[in-house]
Structure formats: C-alpha cells, structure tokens
Amino acid sequence: MAFQRITVNPAIMGGVPTLRGLRIPVATVVAMTADGMTVGEIIADLPDLNAADVKEALQFAAELARDRHLELLAVA
C-alpha cells in the first residue's frame, strides 16, 4: 500500500513518521485513537489534520503491526 500522507524527514521530529510533513507523529494520532478519542476530537485537538489524515495514520500503523514480528507475553 502506498501512503500519500505519511512522511519521514530526518529534519522533522527526528525522522519519525509524521503526517504531511507536519510536526504531528503518526504515533500521536494512533495513541489518541487508542485512548478512545473520535476522529472529530482528534481534529479538534490537532486542527491541521483532517479525517483522511487520521485514517491513513491508522492504516499505516496496521501495516507496521502486520509486517513486524514482536515478542508478546504468552497468555496462560
């Protein structure tokens, strides 16, 4: 999948993935969603973003989770 809104620039936020070159990391948007915020609430807090930005941040995070092998604790 090609991402049009996700950018990585070593001069911006230390090179972490951000949205459209803004100083808003993808991880921030994903964490806000995980905390239960709606798209509207996220946009109210980060007015430089729009719904398409939030959607692509979540899609990007899903791709990272799909493509990486992370060690997780076994459930007993």
What are the extents of the domains in the chain?
6-63
Model pLDDT, residue 61: 94
* Average pLDDT over the chain, rounded to an integer: 91
Residues 17 and 75: their CA atoms lie apart, in Å, by 31
Predicted local confidence at residue 56, as pLDDT? 97
CATH topology of domain 6-63: Arc Repressor Mutant, subunit A (1.10.10)
> What is the Rg, in whole angstroms, of the alpha carbon atoms belonging to the chain?
14
Q: What's the pLDDT score for residue 66? A: 85
- Which regions of 1-76 does DSSP assign to beta strands (E)? 6-7, 18-19
- Calculate mean pLDDT across residues 51-66: 94
Residue 37 has pLDDT above 70, yes or no: yes
pTM: 0.86
